[in-house]
Chain A
Amino acid sequence: MNKRRLAVNALARAAVYLTALLALIPLGLVLSYTVARGLPAVEHLSFFTNIERPPGIPGGGIEHAIAGTAIMVGLASLLAIPVGVLGGVHLAEYGHGRLAGWVRLAADVLVGAPSIAIGLFAYALFVAPFHHFSAVSASIALAVLMLPVVIRTTEASVTLIPNGLREAGLALGLPRWRVSLQLVLPAAAPGVITGALLAVARAAGETAPLLFTTLGNRFFNLDPTHQMSSLTLIVFHDALTPYDDLNQTAWGAALVLVLLVLAVNLGSRFALRRQLSLAGKL
């Protein structure tokens, strides 16, 4: 009897370890294939300095897509991050009431809203009335996706700041808003910045909200009131063509995208950990 129990225990333990290994497999495979298939495209410098070319004509690149992603995500960040940080500070500093509970719930539900629906929403409000696609409308859609992430991560890091800091500021006669913005927020900065960076990375990886807003563009364009391409749109469109050279471009753009997203993720995590370990020593 005892032997059977121990055997079941060992078996279950092995199964749990196996699942942990199993979870690593897709990450390893996706990363290695993206590197292996993307590298032949990325190793030409012209990949970063040329715009896309029709199938069969060599030398195509993704310069216009990199610029498009940077501009659209940049605009979205300008819209979402300041507003989201202020909202998060409010929830952390004053959010004990019922209304704050509703705001939290709405933000958490909004995080899970399908991004394609947010694309439709941005199309209806910012594309259809003007009768043309634009990068700005895509930025607004991305900002809607980023906002709840920024609010919640800001709140989480501001809440962690000990009350002694607030009391010290108030005791020195600082008004509440200066305590929040000039004492508490800087102290919480690493967490706030990490949250904002993660939101930026998420926005850079989104495709669905761009489909009906910026649509894509085969040419280089820096004017946000017109269509732009993006890394994700290049991957999506070029992967679904039957041309080998365009598929190659898709893998190259995917590699650039993955490196960008992983760098932001690992980098911000590292910075946060350093700050937390410093804070632990205080």
Chain B
Amino acid sequence: MVRADRFRILTGGTGLLAPLALLLIVTVLVQQAWPAIVHFGPGFLTGRVWNPVSLNFAALPYIYGTVASASIALVIAIPVGIGVALFLAEPGQAGLRGAIGIAVELLAAIPSVVYGLWALFVMGPFVFKALETPLNNRFGSFPLFSGTARPTSLFTAGLILAVMVLPTLASISREVIRAVPGGLREASVALGATWWETTWRVILPAARAGIFGAVVLALGRALGETIAVTMTIGNRAQISPALFEPAYTLAAVIANEFTEATAPLHTAALVELGVVLIGVTLTVNLSAQLLLRASADARP
């Protein structure tokens, strides 16, 4: 009996490592960033200057780039992801659906750096030639398409991020849609609704909370993604509505500058960017998990 209790406590201790790691990560980062937090105050979040020579640091252009690239990714990935989830959740044709399901999971398995490599050498130049340049030439006066189009741009990064978050969106939405009670579908079909009317008016509303959770989770992934974005976004700190111009993200500037930072304040400012990043992504992830749990609990 005593032994059983010891086993329970020991294994429980190993389980506690997960929350412990989470707490430790946040504490260590805040502590490392402390000199910058004290030095710049809240102005760090609203200032636009990042100058390692004059030791002036502020985060706004990076926050803008992070949020903008993640938003582009979601705008593209949400309709496709939900479409794929609807396709996968349908009954019948198990072979075809199984194959596409595995393909979607493999999409999640490809390393970020490989996406970055492909986007840098193949997708970026293609999008530049086929989409960015024509739109830029014809509608250059429209703010979104203005500026000087580049193969490495906010749009390129957003597009590759869309590919990368698609599996998250699709596989979680599929689970949520599958969990909608069959009776709802049958009742709707019995009333004479078509497949689409059933999907649009019954299935999707019933799965709304869970799909929203999946979207928020995908947002968290997109905000925190580093390598593929660093390789494709062009790494220029600017706040501009122009989709086809370069931008810069929190994660990318940390990746590029951290090992080159010599001034302690520069290092601390980079870690503070990390604190902003992890603060935002953990909040987003926590909300996503709570949403998904709430939607799972609400099921009968």
| Contacts from A to B (Cβ < 8 Å) | 5-6, 8-9, 12-13, 15-20, 22-24, 26-27, 29-30, 33-34, 37, 83-84, 86-91, 93-95, 100, 102-103, 105-110, 112-118, 120-121, 123-125, 144, 147-148, 151, 175-177, 180, 198, 201-202, 204-208, 211-212, 215, 232, 235-236, 239-240, 247, 250-251, 254, 257-258, 261-262, 265-266, 269
Q: Which of B22, B29, B122, B274 contacts A110 (CB 8 A)?
A: B22
Bound state CA distance, A148 and B14, in angstroms? 11
Whether A240 touches B231, Cβ cut-off 8 Å, given contacts A30-B110, A33-B122, A83-B14, is: yes
| Contacts from B to A (Cβ < 8 Å) | 3-4, 6-8, 10-12, 14-19, 21-22, 24-25, 28-29, 31-32, 79-80, 82-84, 86-88, 100, 102-107, 109-118, 120-123, 163, 166, 170, 194-197, 199-200, 217, 220-221, 223-227, 231, 251, 254-255, 258-259, 271, 274, 277-278, 281-282, 285-286, 288-290, 293
The answer on a CB contact under 8 Å between A103 and B224 is no
The answer on a CB contact under 8 Å between A108 and B289 is yes
The answer on a CB contact under 8 Å between A30 and B21 is no
Whether A19 touches B226, Cβ cut-off 8 Å, given contacts A114-B281, A121-B24, A269-B102, is: no
The answer on a CB contact under 8 Å between B281 and A124 is no
The answer on a CB contact under 8 Å between B223 and A120 is no
The answer on a CB contact under 8 Å between A261 and B111 is yes
Bound state CA distance, A208 and B111, in angstroms? 11
Q: Which of B12, B29, B32, B226 contacts A208 (CB 8 A)?
A: B226
B220 / chain A contacts, CB cutoff of 8 Å = 112
B217 / chain A contacts, CB cutoff of 8 Å = 112
The answer on a CB contact under 8 Å between B271 and A120 is yes
Q: Which of B225, B231, B274 contacts A120 (CB 8 A)?
A: B274
The answer on a CB contact under 8 Å between A110 and B21 is yes
The answer on a CB contact under 8 Å between B15 and A90 is yes
Q: Which of A33, A108, A116 contacts B226 (CB 8 A)?
A: A116
Q: Which of A95, A176, A202, A239 contacts B116 (CB 8 A)?
A: A239
Name the distance in Å between A14's Cβ and chain B's nearest Cβ: 10
Whether A113 touches B22, Cβ cut-off 8 Å, given contacts A207-B111, A207-B113, A261-B111, is: yes
Report the number of A-B residue pairs with Cβ-Cβ less than 8 Å. Answer: 263
Bound state CA distance, A12 and B88, in angstroms? 15
Interface of B is mostly: helix
Bound state CA distance, A112 and B168, in angstroms? 11
Bound state CA distance, A34 and B118, in angstroms? 8
Q: Which of A8, A29, A89, A205 contacts B196 (CB 8 A)?
A: A8
Q: Which of B103, B106, B278 contacts A117 (CB 8 A)?
A: B278
Q: Which of B123, B166, B227, B258 contacts A236 (CB 8 A)?
A: B227
B274 / chain A contacts, CB cutoff of 8 Å = 116-117, 120
- Chain B, residue nearest A85 (CB): B14
Q: Which of A19, A95, A108, A116 contacts B254 (CB 8 A)?
A: A116
- Chain B, residue nearest A151 (CB): B18
Identify 30 residue pairs between A and B in the complex whose beta-carbon atoms are under 8 Å apart, listed by A's number: A9-B196, A12-B196, A12-B199, A19-B87, A27-B107, A29-B123, A34-B117, A83-B17, A88-B15, A90-B11, A90-B12, A94-B11, A105-B286, A107-B18, A110-B21, A110-B22, A112-B217, A113-B25, A113-B285, A117-B25, A117-B274, A206-B111, A207-B226, A207-B227, A211-B259, A235-B114, A236-B227, A239-B121, A257-B111, A265-B105
The answer on a CB contact under 8 Å between B282 and A113 is yes
The answer on a CB contact under 8 Å between B109 and A90 is no
The answer on a CB contact under 8 Å between A262 and B106 is yes
The answer on a CB contact under 8 Å between A15 and B83 is yes
Name the distance in Å between A57's Cβ and chain B's nearest Cβ: 22
B86 / chain A contacts, CB cutoff of 8 Å = 16
Interface centre among A23, A29, A125 (most CB of B within 10 A): A23
Name the distance in Å between B260's Cβ and chain A's nearest Cβ: 11
The answer on a CB contact under 8 Å between A175 and B3 is yes
The answer on a CB contact under 8 Å between B25 and A30 is no
Q: Which of B17, B31, B163 contacts A87 (CB 8 A)?
A: B17
The answer on a CB contact under 8 Å between B107 and A205 is no
B254 / chain A contacts, CB cutoff of 8 Å = 116, 120
Bound state CA distance, A280 and B259, in angstroms? 53
The answer on a CB contact under 8 Å between B258 and A212 is yes
- Since A87-B18, A120-B271, A235-B114 are in contact, a sample of 20 more A-B pairs with Cβ atoms closer than 8 Å, ordered by chain A residue number, is A5-B197, A16-B86, A20-B100, A86-B10, A86-B11, A93-B11, A105-B286, A110-B21, A112-B221, A112-B224, A116-B274, A117-B277, A117-B281, A121-B29, A124-B31, A175-B3, A207-B226, A207-B227, A212-B259, A239-B121
